[in-house]
Structure 1
């Protein structure tokens, strides 16, 4: 599959409900399936659990029911289990109560856990394994003081134990991936049927640990009938590339035109050109103010240049030479190193008014678009915007922290204004387009956190647009390849230190490595 579903807590709850009501699958069976899948993952990670001390924390909802079922299986396998339930036995009803009853029936040790008795009850405990089933994906808002107390006890014990979370670490927001103010710090998390949004958000990994996704038997028809709002890319995204033909020439491989560069910022269009060439474009030209083109070229003969005007500044009118270049190009990239002068803003407006091929608006172009919402709204559905959080904040008139706290919503907010495709860059980049599910990148690599990395990405995007890939698919493909290159460089530069041009140079090798690792069909 090119993409996997990434449901919100409300969407996964809807799947559960539909499986039960529309297909007659009993909730007890879904919970049993979840517990068995969790058990298999836990055994893979820890080996034999015979005689190991296991504390299982059981909350009040269905997550607690999962915990009770896991405790029963562990007891059956010879573990020394203590099931710590946070409500009195008689207060457990429905499915969670059913599985709690089964656990007690086979002799699983259990004890009531409250904030008042937690210190005394856990004082002498030295568990090998902790299973967290306190709170599920439905948790919202700030944790109560009672829940904070219990989570603090788990984290304290977890410093010398293996902590295993069921579905989501308790306290973590299932949509945002944030802890308010604390969450269970797990070594591993098994989540059921599909990864939830919050589990893959930036910063969530410190709570989630290694993430495992396991199916519990929700019918595929349910997922088709109730599609989710968000998706996450798989390596099958690489299949969106246009195939390499046996007979090709530079014109048929995509002609990319980059319009950018200003005094002190000539490296940006150079890096964009490198990104375009290393991702497979056949013909790449950089159009810059005339007195800067040699700086843009930077001794690299493969970069073609086009002089604009006669000075270091952007002219008042678009010259005929550039109009012809635009007409002869398959895609354009506008903005890398363009500068923030009034001349640059005027020149950008005139460029946008022209008949042009699919265009990537990056860097300084985004600065000027944020100044003129009418200009932003005039862009085409074939165009791509590539803001980082700071640029997104200006475009949406928000603070950076407001953008970052809900990156998915932020990307959708801009996509609702602009007809094309939005890429909110950063760890776990988000790709949004009106009327389509938001797509999330699986990559969060520090190798990409270097000035010029975004310029390389703009070149990759320009290549795919030039080769005829539609904007949304080009965005997904480009972001995935960019992430692959960053991940590839982490092996060579484990403590960072890579240069942005090395991201471009790593592209073909990283993509080849990924393709070679894909199973053959």
Structure 2
């Protein structure tokens, strides 16, 4: 039975890894045609559940195995009494192997196959069986025109395995891509279904393993792990004798003139996420606001880096960057932090100053760039980062020997040892200022409570995204501070303070 997006496997694969897995399954006795038949059945069942009152199907078929899946679904729909036609965007004579067998079977079953043209009106549910995971370059004609026709039709759309035109490895739209209402994917989850442009193209995602041998699947190489409540790192429960000294001391540095709110959000987030103690070094004019908003935080009005020496000696974790600015004040404070041998989280202007070469990042830090900051750190364009987000995350981690949180739709967490995790939760209402400051403080609090950098980053990203998803249900107008109490609640649900 297909699984919905909230009940999916953890493993994420590249297109090449899925092809290798497919080949291993065939080599151990499951024919390719049988796998195609299972894929068609899974797609048909998902389609009927999604649109239970529908009775007409328009299949747009290309020339690969995706087309074979489409021809097989057409047979199932015809046998169920639906009005069915296949619109062949590629000449059926180009079909080979199992796809050619599926085409022949559809003709024998009485399926109507027509040559597609832009003038043909689409009807009913549209099945996208045009292009599969092997696509690497931009979509060419006539596929581009067919995809445009699907998107312009206003009809319900289901994609076979992946929306045509979406890169299976990166989630990038390759010129143009189908905007599906439902995508049914098979054997292994493709990384590109969860990051980059995927959120706008995939619709509801369902998965079928096609009854693959679990041992073969378990032995296969993967590209990343999808974060979910079952595999998240956990904070240990606290002993009844616990005291603040056991849970770290986070020092947050930032908040130049005009940007005091950013570092206050980070401080409040660190405090509410369980850090034992929280200190804040910021501009003197922000001290009254800080004491009024979070009186539990120790606030130091800071004029120069010399004043950081004592707080740095007392801290166990540093968070630097929110509201830091790029002027002399921020540069001097960042330089002092960079010379401290402590776990650190660098965000916002700390990353911008790092990209300028003004300072060197200590090893073992967590950095939290958005795509624009990532581009500056790598010396490439934002478009290039977004074109291959997994590669960008790995490159940043390798270049800076840091744990990297590459923010955005389908946030990625990369470790210097090559591990990659992905969080696909979130909500469009999170497109607002200050959320990154909350995330930075949250990461700092988890580090202070004893988590290693990669685990802290993974848990923080998941908590942050799911808090945004919960709060986003109220719609537009989400404020960054709205997430903080929800993060606290989620953390308690995920790892209770008491056993």
TM-score (ref. length: structure 2): 0.90
- After superposition, what is the alpha-carbon deviation per residue over 1:58-89, rounded to whole angstroms, capped at 9, x for unaligned? 22111011111111221222222223334555
Match of 2:32 in 1: 27
Note the C-alpha offset of 1:175: 2.5
Q: 1:262 aligns with which of 256, 259, 262?
A: 256
Match of 2:481 in 1: 501
- After superposition, what is the alpha-carbon deviation per residue over 1:462-515, rounded to whole angstroms, capped at 9, x for unaligned? 1111111111111010011111111111123x1x21222212122223456778
1:373 to 1:2, Cα distance in 2 relative to 1, 3 A = farther
Note the C-alpha offset of 1:101: 2.5
Q: Is the 8 Å Cα contact of residues 170 and 183 (structure 1) preserved in structure 2?
A: yes
1:461 to 1:87, Cα distance in 2 relative to 1, 3 A = closer
Q: Is the 8 Å Cα contact of residues 237 and 495 (structure 2) preserved in structure 1?
A: no
Deviates more, 1:404-413 or 1:173-182: 173-182
Q: 1:314 aligns with which of 275, 280, 304?
A: 304
Match of 2:4 in 1: none
Q: 1:75 aligns with which of 74, 78, 84?
A: 78
Instruction: Name the SS of the counterpart of 1:6 in structure 2.
Output: strand
State how far apart, in whole Å, the 2-side matches of 1:464 and 1:230 are. 22
What does 1:163-312 align with in structure 2 at a 5 Å threshold? 163-290=157-284, 292-308=286-302
Q: Is the 8 Å Cα contact of residues 415 and 422 (structure 1) preserved in structure 2?
A: yes
Note the C-alpha offset of 1:457: 0.6
Match of 1:38 in 2: 43
Instruction: Name the SS of the counterpart of 1:131 in structure 2.
Output: strand
What does 1:121-520 align with in structure 2 at a 5 Å threshold? 122-123=120-121, 127-156=123-152, 158-159=153-154, 161-290=155-284, 292-308=286-302, 313-315=303-305, 317=306, 319-326=308-315, 329=316, 331-356=317-342, 358-372=343-357, 375-376=360-361, 379-381=362-364, 383-492=365-474, 494=475, 496-511=476-491
- After superposition, what is the alpha-carbon deviation per residue over 1:388-434, rounded to whole angstroms, capped at 9, x for unaligned? 22222221112222222222222111111111201112222211122
State how far apart, in whole Å, the 2-side matches of 1:15 and 1:472 are. 28
Match of 1:109 in 2: 111
State how far apart, in whole Å, the 2-side matches of 1:393 and 1:92 are. 42
Q: Is the 8 Å Cα contact of residues 2 and 236 (structure 1) preserved in structure 2?
A: no
State how far apart, in whole Å, the 1-side matches of 2:162 and 2:387 are. 19
Note the C-alpha offset of 1:223: 3.5
State how far apart, in whole Å, the 2-side matches of 1:256 and 1:90 are. 66
- After superposition, what is the alpha-carbon deviation per residue over 1:122-153, rounded to whole angstroms, capped at 9, x for unaligned? 35x6x222211111111221222211232233
Instruction: Name the SS of the counterpart of 2:323 in structure 1.
Output: coil
Note the C-alpha offset of 1:222: 3.2
Deviates more, 1:138-147 or 1:505-514: 505-514
Deviates more, 1:460-469 or 1:360-369: 360-369
Q: 1:17 aligns with which of 1, 14, 23?
A: 23
1:268 to 1:237, Cα distance in 2 relative to 1, 3 A = farther
Q: Is the 8 Å Cα contact of residues 394 and 418 (structure 2) preserved in structure 1?
A: no
Instruction: Name the SS of the counterpart of 1:213 in structure 2.
Output: strand
Match of 2:3 in 1: none
Structure 1 runs not aligned, ≥5 long: 517-521
1:242 to 1:108, Cα distance in 2 relative to 1, 3 A = farther
What do you get for the CA RMSD once the two structures are aligned? 2.6
Deviates more, 1:392-401 or 1:235-244: 235-244
Deviates more, 1:61-70 or 1:199-208: 199-208
Q: Is the 8 Å Cα contact of residues 256 and 283 (structure 2) preserved in structure 1?
A: yes
1:351 to 1:132, Cα distance in 2 relative to 1, 3 A = closer
Note the C-alpha offset of 1:248: 2.3
Structure 2 runs not aligned, ≥5 long: 1-6
1:87 to 1:423, Cα distance in 2 relative to 1, 3 A = closer
1:296 to 1:55, Cα distance in 2 relative to 1, 3 A = same
- After superposition, what is the alpha-carbon deviation per residue over 1:338-361, rounded to whole angstroms, capped at 9, x for unaligned? 2322343233223322332x1111
State how far apart, in whole Å, the 2-side matches of 1:413 and 1:285 are. 33
Q: Is the 8 Å Cα contact of residues 247 and 450 (structure 2) preserved in structure 1?
A: no
- After superposition, what is the alpha-carbon deviation per residue over 1:332-391, rounded to whole angstroms, capped at 9, x for unaligned? 2122222322343233223322332x1111122212222228713xx222x101112222
